[in-house]
Structure 1
Amino acid sequence: MLSNIRVLEVAYFYPGPFCTQILAEHGAEVIKIEPPTGDPMRYDRTLFSAFNRNKKSIVLNLKDEGDLKKFYELVKKSDVIVEGFRPGVAKRLGIDYDTVRKYNKGIIYCSISGFGQDSELLDIPVHDINVLSFSGICRISGIKDNVPRDPNVQISDFSSAVFAVISILMALIKRMKTGEGEYIDVSMMDSAAASIPLHSASYMNGSSDRMDFKSNPGYEIYKTRDGHISLGIMDEPHFWRNLCRVLEIEEYADISYAERLERYDEIRSRISEIIMKFKTSEISDILRRNNIPFGVVNHFTDAVELLKKRGILAKTENGIFVGFPAKYKYYTPKRDGKVPDLGGDEV
């Protein structure tokens, strides 16, 4: 799909490398430009392999005048640059958009940073937990012992990577039509906020309680005799009535969604008392046969078999990873692939 596209990656850790790996899985030639010490993620070969398959690696010291000239020569023959420095660093190195555009007016240049290039917070060095703190997501994730929670899912890292991919593809389409390059400013905080539209829309429009799923007894995790299951019923009377029927709590079957929220503790207690009598396999079978939204609370190792059957796993010399998740009828993404050695390629 992207076999004629060359991408230069000057980014470390998660967002930039994950973005370019998606492009590589779709056929782009991705050249990872690393300092002599390498991407700091190389200390963990497994994690490094999760974001750097199907890439080439070259070593350039961008503070060295000779290596900087080599970088400019690569720019002349490339289509996309993805950089992940704090705002201002690329300019100090001489690899910012205004500079590289002199060598290639059609270049598509994507910067991924914590808060964007024009934020009042742009000087702060951050990782995902810091962005989620500023964005309010740590509070949305719940409070334990009066301390907001880190959700332990890197929402801003990977959402910013995905939004960067979308933006780059849009810019490539635009360039096909106009011949013009583009500068793309992706903020991890903006991306995280855009990834929780239910919560953000509610909070910004004065209805923050609307998205408090934790007060809905139909949208909860319940303990079974040997594990846990989740229910996933929103304001859906047909699913709710099915649940009440099979659990034999039909006195709740016709109450409104609002009343379910108001009587949360009472109803949750009743449901919990009943579900705890069943093994996970037993209650799962009942819920499935009666068309009720549910999930088994697996360990990730349990979920691997489902992913394997879908055919989306990537195999490398360093282990097994989850590859690009969409399946096409007429194209197969390059999920498997070599992980580059530091400076192991010539371009």
Structure 2
Amino acid sequence: MKRPLDGLIVLEFCQYMAGPWAGLRLSDLGARVIKVERPVKGEACRQLATKNMIVDGDSLVFHTANRGKESYAANLKDPGDLAEVKQLIAKADVLTHNFRPGVMEKLGLDYDAAKALNPKLIYASVTGYGTEGPWRAKPGQDLLAQSMSGVLYVSGKNDAPPTPLGLAVADGICGVHLTQGILAALVRRGRTGQGALVEVSLLQSLIDLQFEALTTYLNDGGRAPQRSAVSAGHPYQGAPYGIYATSDGFLALAMGSLEKLGEVLQLDALQNYDGSTDAFTKADEIRRVLADHLQSQPTADVLEQLEAADVWCGRVMGYDELRAHPGYQALDVEQTVTRDGAPPVKTLRSPIRFNGERLFDPKAAPRVGAHNDAVRKEILDA
């Protein structure tokens, strides 16, 4: 299968997650992604252990974000290595980095310097909080960005403390935004021949992820979102929206008619509410009625009733139940990647299909400097 970005060269001066997340997606789409990293130790994420899991000397999280890439080891403070890197920049299509503001300038690899080497280059950077303002020098880390974005006050019940999302969500959405910007710049370059500077930040990506909630806040007199006292869900959605305990698990209810829900569950109490207004003004009162009823009902029985009536609902599943379900298996999301002499790593493939085909890449993350000779031969000396 010929992939859409086949033939493009991406130089990745990135560490940890947000920048490498974008590089991973570009690699899945066919680009040749070359990690430019320090000799011996490589980029910092190689030592960032997830649950202390190490595979062949590198952290499992590094394997997750860097499969399919190449590694070019270079000491950017060494004049000879830096000269070679500049030659690579002159032949690349895309450069990504997530150093703090000012670092690339000190190295002589800032946008203006790179543009002088390669006017058609797409130069893409990730920062924690932008390149201006009082936060510009703060460390760009996922939990810290979450803590400053307001997102900790939209999860959980109203008596819970600020609740972070249990994923690197800032890194993930920022990586998606970086990819979008790069792809748009490549399309523009195809029309005009011009390169571009693409900039994203963890904080703004997280703020943008909350566009629905923040738009409501901005147009509701600045009233803060109120989390439910009964069930966790969306603070700006009315009843029945939320997660409810059943006799043997948990059930999610999305938007829907209270009248219809009452009929299906044979809950006369729900007929006493005006769904157009009470769903919001009396949301927790309604949720308590549902919670009291559902806690004695088996999940499967409730799902059968609700799904037959086309009520939007779902079973709350953990990883074991998810992976065992035919719906998950039909997606074929898992793949195994390998590198010579190392144990295989189970991970996920790209979620994108192209012309009806799933995108798989069997190559694991590279060892430090594993492709120096190939890069010199195939790019620098070509």
- Which SS does the other structure have where 2:92 is aligned? coil
Question: d(CA) in 1 for partners of 2:302 and 2:294?
Answer: 7
Contact 1:34 1:57 in 2 (8 A): yes
Q: CA deviation at 1:109?
A: 0.4
Summarize the Cα distance change of 1:186–1:67 in structure 2 as closer, same or farther, 3 Å threshold.
same
Question: d(CA) in 1 for partners of 2:198 and 2:330?
Answer: 37
Question: Is the deviation greater in 106-115 or in 128-137?
Answer: 128-137
- Which SS does the other structure have where 1:109 is aligned? strand
Question: d(CA) in 2 for partners of 1:100 and 1:166?
Answer: 21
Question: d(CA) in 2 for partners of 1:168 and 1:107?
Answer: 10
Question: Is the deviation greater in 264-273 or in 135-144?
Answer: 135-144
TM-score when scaled to structure 1?
0.92
- The Cα offsets for residues 265-320 of structure 1, whole Å up to 9 and x where unpaired, read as 43222212221222222222222111111111111232234433212223213422
Asked if residue 167 in structure 1 is aligned to residue 161 in structure 2, the reply is no
What amino acid maps onto 2:245 in structure 1? K
Match for residue 40 of structure 1? 44
Q: CA deviation at 1:331?
A: 4.3
Match for residue 221 of structure 1? 243
- Which SS does the other structure have where 1:31 is aligned? strand
Asked if residue 328 in structure 1 is aligned to residue 358 in structure 2, the reply is no
Question: d(CA) in 2 for partners of 1:95 and 1:35?
Answer: 15
In structure 2, the gaps of 5 or more residues are 50-58, 228-233, 339-343, 376-382
TM-score when scaled to structure 2?
0.84
Q: CA deviation at 1:91?
A: 0.8
Asked if residue 263 in structure 1 is aligned to residue 282 in structure 2, the reply is yes
Contact 1:24 1:334 in 2 (8 A): no
Question: Is the deviation greater in 297-306 or in 180-189?
Answer: 297-306
- Which SS does the other structure have where 2:364 is aligned? coil
Question: Is the deviation greater in 70-79 or in 271-280?
Answer: 271-280
Question: d(CA) in 1 for partners of 2:123 and 2:110?
Answer: 9
1:96-111 equivalences under 5 Å are 96-111=110-125
2:15 paired residue among 4, 12, 16: 12
Count of aligned pairs between the two proteins: 343
Q: CA deviation at 1:197?
A: 1.4
- The Cα offsets for residues 35-76 of structure 1, whole Å up to 9 and x where unpaired, read as 122122223432111100110011111111111111001111
Question: d(CA) in 1 for partners of 2:199 and 2:276?
Answer: 41
Match for residue 23 of structure 1? 26
Question: d(CA) in 2 for partners of 1:63 and 1:143?
Answer: 50
2:333 paired residue among 294, 300, 312: 312
Question: Is the deviation greater in 181-190 or in 140-149?
Answer: 140-149
Summarize the Cα distance change of 1:145–1:291 in structure 2 as closer, same or farther, 3 Å threshold.
closer
Contact 1:106 1:179 in 2 (8 A): yes
- Which SS does the other structure have where 2:214 is aligned? helix
In structure 1, the gaps of 5 or more residues are none
Match for residue 230 of structure 2? none
Question: d(CA) in 2 for partners of 1:163 and 1:38?
Answer: 25
Question: d(CA) in 2 for partners of 1:86 and 1:50?
Answer: 23
1:45-124 equivalences under 5 Å are 45-124=59-138
Asked if residue 252 in structure 1 is aligned to residue 273 in structure 2, the reply is no
Asked if residue 191 in structure 1 is aligned to residue 209 in structure 2, the reply is no
